[in-house]
Amino acid sequence: MDHYPAGCALIRDEHRTLAALLHALRHLVRELRGGHTKADFTLLRAIVYYIDAYPERMHHPKEELHLFTALERRTHEADADIRVLRNEHENGARLIRDLGHQLLRYEHEGATGFAMFAAAVEAYASFYYQHMEREENHIIPLALRHLTPEDWGAIDAAFAENHDPLKGVDEKQFRDLFSRIVNLAPAPIGVGAASRTA
Ligand SMILES: [Fe+2]
Ligand SMILES: [Fe+2]
């Protein structure tokens, strides 16, 4: 097709937001492991909450309802990947719950809980990077090849509707959280202090 559909750009935008959050989380874990900073549980909870609420409530349902179903209607070429991705959406929900649980343990048990929390962060981040790669490298190219302008019209509208996770019902809650993440996270993620030592 001769123009890049808005829905594609919006999906990639949402992936960039998620990747930034994962990057922030990994960065904080590295700082904590190196003993350069004291755990800021307000910030860690805000990031984990945001990651949990955003893919689960907004991103995955839109992908399944609009992009995957349209593609399944037009071709069987994507069936195997879509099966994997739908399973991963379910697994992702389990992994992020585990991450939240490990964060709680870390907060209550202190240093002894750190290793499990760090492992849960790594498990979720590497899982999710792979997931986004499969969507961007397999699904989007097939969608660009097989979907019609009418299909894209519906997808564009669905993704534009609440493309910005800071809009809609949870607008204030999400906006507060996001600015907290950006304000508290050290550079290069945010504008907070470079390190907060004990
Ligand atoms: Fe997905
Ligand atoms: Fe996605």
Task: Say what the pLDDT of residue 197 is.
Answer: 37
3-state secondary structure the chain: CCCCCHHHHHHHHHHHHHHHHHHHHHHHHHHHHCCCCCCCHHHHHHHHHHHHHHHHHHHHHHHHHHHHHHHHHHCCCCHHHHHHHHHHHHHHHHHHHHHHHHHHHHHHHHHHHHHHHHHHHHHHHHHHHHHHHHHHHHHHHHHHHHCCHHHHHHHHHHHHHCCCCCCCCCHHHHHHHHHHHHHHCECCCCCECCCCCC
Q: Ligand 2 centre from 14 Cα, in Å? A: 7
Q: Ligand 2 centre from 116 Cα, in Å? A: 26
Residue % of the chain over a pLDDT of 90: 48
Cis amide bond preceding 188, omega within 30: yes
Summarize the confidence of residues 166-176 as an average pLDDT.
Answer: 57
Q: Ligand 1 centre from 84 Cα, in Å? A: 10
Q: Does 123 have pLDDT greater than 90?
A: yes
Q: Ligand 1 centre from 147 Cα, in Å? A: 18
Start-to-end CA span in the chain (Å): 56
pLDDT band at 47 (very low <50, low <70, confident <90, very high): confident
Q: Ligand 2 centre from 55 Cα, in Å? A: 8
Q: Which residue has the higher pLDDT, 193 or 34?
A: 34
Between CA 171 and CA 176 the distance in angstroms is: 9
Q: Ligand 1 centre from 63 Cα, in Å? A: 6
How many CB atoms neighbour CB 102 within 10 A?
22
Single pTM value for the model = 0.82
Domains delineated in the chain: 10-184 (1.20.120.520)
Q: Ligand 2 centre from 147 Cα, in Å? A: 18
Q: Ligand 2 centre from 132 Cα, in Å? A: 5
Task: Say what the pLDDT of residue 1 is.
Answer: 52
Q: Which ligand is nearest to the CA of 92?
A: 1
pLDDT band at 196 (very low <50, low <70, confident <90, very high): very low
Per residue in 65-117, pLDDT (tens digit) is: 999 999 999 999 999 999 999 999 999 989 999 999 999 999 999 989 999 99
Q: Are 25 and 47 in contact (CB under 8 A)?
A: yes
Buried/exposed code over 162-175 (b: 16+ C-beta within 10 A; e: otherwise): bbbbbeeebeeebe
Q: Ligand 1 centre from 61 Cα, in Å? A: 9
Locate 44 and state its tokens: 């860690």
Residue % of the chain over a pLDDT of 70: 80
CA angle 73, 14, 51 (to 5 degrees): 110
Q: Ligand 1 centre from 82 Cα, in Å? A: 9
Per residue in 149-164, pLDDT (tens digit) is: 999 999 998 888 765 5
